[in-house]
């Protein structure tokens, strides 16, 4: 077990192209479950492969347990990796697959068998499966064998490259919690790559959000959700995604849906300092609270002085029923992109109905329209 450090680590695939990973600085604590998340092409897998030693570094360093491993071949890094397509050895049985690393370490056969069986038990793999070839297994079983191959090693670091992406939705959710639970039990430092922000949020102790080879933010899931540092993180974390809209600035606030959205003084100051005439505001779907009272059809929305929240209204275009709740696609009074709101599932408004939402000013994020940086609020 060990901590992992990326020190301005870079990887350039081809000359004259932007780096796949650009000066990545990341500290992963001993025993931590760190999730690298980002859209495809964000450099998350490359970053993982750099740690595995499968991808050379074009700059910077990588350390495992305080040891500089930048030029150490993969086999000497004491890591175990779970690949996206599992990469099981097709000609070997399950037991041979799991015990391969130990065989390479010249662990005696009896010892090897014992450890393979222990790992199999840990993963609920039947003993009779141990003699099968990978192709005779189901997708879920193969995934567990791939996990088993990593566990048997008792390595310093687990690396997992989208290990759940080949499972069906139900199995994915189930396995997600099993992996997180297993990691907590084993206490091995884990770096986990995924493009699925739900996986990232539910599994990681901390989550590093990457895009375009740059680290955007590395924080706990809660912190990412509550305090995204920029528009990208805000839009990426959370499902359904945050509603982001460019709005013109006006005296004392921003103009939205025919009304005036009051902005905190700090945001106004920051916007003024940057000489912005408009900014991007973001509101999460779950922060648009449906009010029962419908306002006058064409009445202007006004902030309610009483509790500081304000209201905005629009027409429901589409309702997506999810069971527990429903997603409303609402066109606001002034047109523009529809916003998505989360409503209680039992009695959602029908399409065509006019609705009013109440929003607390604390739940409104403001971003710089060009840089995407969060305007302090």
Partner 1 sequence: MAVVEGVAAPAPKVRLRPRGVSRREQWQRRLPLLPALIYIIVVTQIPFVVTLWYSFQNYFFDIPGGAHFTGLSNYTTVFTNAAFRASLVRSVVMTASSVIVAMILGMAFALLLDRKFLGRGVVRTLIITPFLVMPAAAALVWAGPMLDPNFGLLNYLLTPFGVHHVAWLSTHALGSVIVVMIWQWTPFMTLIVLAGLQGQPADTLEAAKVDGAGALATFRELTLPHLRPYIELGILLGSIYLVNAFDAVRLMTNGGPGTATTNLPFYLYQQVNYAFDVGGAAAAGVVTVILTIIVATFALRMFARVFQFDEAAG
Stretch that binds partner 1, among 99-107, 109-117, 271-279, 291-299 (CB under 8 A): 99-107
The residue within the footprint of partner 1, chosen from 14, 17, 135, 275 (CB under 8 A), is 135
The residue within the footprint of partner 1, chosen from 153, 172, 176, 195 (CB under 8 A), is 153
Residue 226: partners with Cβ closer than 8 Å, 6 or more residues away:
none
The residue within the footprint of partner 1, chosen from 50, 52, 125, 256 (CB under 8 A), is 52
Tokens of 303: 């902030």
Using rule CB under 8 A, residue 246 touches partner 1: no
Using rule CB under 8 A, residue 181 touches partner 1: no
Stretch that binds partner 1, among 40-48, 80-88, 259-267, 268-276 (CB under 8 A): 80-88
* Closer to partner 1 by Cβ: residue 30 or 78: 78
Tokens of 68: 């500089």
* Closer to partner 1 by Cβ: residue 92 or 368: 92
Stretch that binds partner 1, among 87-95, 254-262, 276-284, 320-328 (CB under 8 A): 87-95
Using rule CB under 8 A, residue 138 touches partner 1: no
The nearest distance, CB 158 to partner 1, in angstroms, is 11
Stretch that binds partner 1, among 78-86, 209-217, 270-278, 282-290 (CB under 8 A): 78-86
Using rule CB under 8 A, residue 13 touches partner 1: no
* Closer to partner 1 by Cβ: residue 80 or 267: 80
* Closer to partner 1 by Cβ: residue 124 or 298: 124
The residue within the footprint of partner 1, chosen from 59, 65, 74, 295 (CB under 8 A), is 74
Using rule CB under 8 A, residue 71 touches partner 1: no
Using rule CB under 8 A, residue 136 touches partner 1: yes
User: Contacts with partner 1: how many residues (CB under 8 A)?
Assistant: 30
Q: What HEC string does the chain produce?
A: CCCEEEEEEEECCCCCCCCCEEEEEEEECCCCEEEEECCCCCCHHHHHHHHHCCCCCCEEEEEECCEECCCCCHHHCCEEEECCCCCCCCCCCHHHHHHHHHHHCCCCHHHHHHHHHHHHHHCCCCHHHHHCCHHHCCHHHHHHHHHHHHHHHCCCEEEEECCCCCCCHHHHHHHHHHHHHHHHHHCCEEEEEECCHHHHHHHCCEEEEEECCEEEEEECHHHHHHCCCEHHHHHHCCCCCCEEEEEEEECCEEEECCEEEECCHHHHHHHHHCCCCEEEEEECHHHCEEECCCCCCCCCCCCCCCCCCEEEEEEEEEEEECCCEEEEEEEECCCCCCEEEEEECCCCCCCCCEEEEEECHHHEEEECCCCCEECCC
Stretch that binds partner 1, among 118-126, 131-139, 230-238, 257-265 (CB under 8 A): 131-139
Using rule CB under 8 A, residue 293 touches partner 1: no
Task: By CB under 8 A, name the binding residues for partner 1.
Answer: 52-54, 73-77, 79-81, 83-85, 87-92, 100-101, 104-105, 133, 135-136, 149, 153, 159
């Amino acid at each position: 077990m060990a901590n992992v450090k990326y020190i301005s680590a870079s990887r350039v695939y081809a000359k004259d192209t932007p780096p796949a990973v650009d000066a990545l600085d990341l500290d992963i604590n001993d025993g931590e479950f760190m999730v690298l998340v980002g859209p495809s092409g964000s450099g998350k897998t490359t970053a993982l492969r750099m740690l595995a030693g499968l991808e050379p570094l074009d700059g910077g360093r990588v350390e495992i347990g305080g040891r500089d491993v930048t030029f150490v071949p993969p086999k000497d890094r004491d890591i175990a990796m779970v690949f996206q397509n599992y990469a099981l050895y097709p000609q070997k049985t399950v037991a041979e697959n799991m015990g391969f690393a130990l065989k390479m370490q010249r662990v005696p056969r009896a010892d090897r068998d014992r450890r393979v069986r222990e790992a199999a038990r840990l993963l609920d793999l039947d003993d009779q499966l141990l003699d099968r070839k990978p192709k005779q297994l189901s997708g879920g079983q193969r995934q567990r064998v791939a996990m088993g191959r990593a566990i048997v090693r008792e390595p310093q670091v687990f690396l997992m490259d989208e290990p759940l992406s080949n499972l069906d939705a139900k199995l994915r959710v189930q396995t997600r919690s099993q992996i997180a639970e297993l990691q907590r039990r084993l206490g091995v430092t884990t770096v986990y790559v995924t493009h699925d922000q739900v996986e990232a949020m539910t599994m990681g102790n901390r989550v590093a959000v990457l895009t375009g080879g740059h680290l955007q933010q590395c924080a706990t899931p809660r912190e990412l959700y509550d305090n995204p540092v920029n528009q990208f993180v805000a839009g990426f974390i959370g499902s359904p995604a945050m509603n982001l809209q460019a709005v013109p600035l006006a005296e004392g606030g921003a103009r939205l849906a025919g009304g005036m959205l009051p902005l905190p003084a700090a945001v106004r100051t920051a916007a003024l300092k940057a000489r912005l005439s408009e900014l991007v505001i973001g509101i999460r779907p779950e922060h648009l609270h449906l009010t029962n009272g419908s306002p006058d059809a064409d009445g202007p929305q006004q902030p309610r002085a009483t509790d500081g929240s304000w209201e905005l209204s629009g027409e429901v275009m589409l309702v997506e029923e999810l069971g527990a709740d429903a997603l409303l696609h609402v066109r606001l009074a002034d047109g523009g992109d529809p916003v998505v709101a989360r409503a209680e599932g039992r009695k959602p408004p029908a399409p065509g109905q006019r609705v009013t939402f109440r929003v607390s000013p604390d739940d409104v994020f403001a971003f710089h329209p060009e840089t995407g940086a969060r305007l302090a609020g």
